[in-house]
Amino acid sequence: MENGKVAMELSPLISNLSYILKELKGQHENCKQKIEEMEALRQDSISHFEDAFSNTPLEMSELMKRFMYSKDGGASLIDGSINSEVSISINLC
């Protein structure tokens, strides 16, 4: 009779643990899926980055000019250590 009483007391705990385990397995699967998605995005970003820097030096210098100059034509590259505008020269070999 004592075993039956213990089993009755443990039954709700076993149910709760089973539910928690099921939820954790679901969360684990969601995390694995998100990790795979993020890894695919990371690989895609790396590929785009590599493509961007496989350009010829002339194309790269044009990109640098666009980064360096604002819409009004003024230089926007500032050296923070001396707090003044700087320029970059590009030597094409």
Split the chain (93 residues) into runs of 10 and give each run's mean pLDDT: 80 93 97 93 78 67 67 64 75 61
Read off the amino acid at residue 66: R
Q: Please report where in the chains the tokens 């075993």 appear, as a residue.
A: 3
Q: What is the pLDDT of residue 22?
A: 97
Residue labelled with tokens 């009483």: 5
Question: In the prediction, which pLDDT does 78 show?
Answer: 75
Under 8 Å between Cβ of 26 and 32: no
Q: What is the pLDDT of residue 19?
A: 96
pLDDT of residue 91: 65
The pLDDT value recorded for residue 41 is: 87
Kindly state the tokens that stand for 61.
């210098």
| Spatial CB neighbours of 57, under 8 Å, sequence gap ≥ 6 | 90, 92, 93
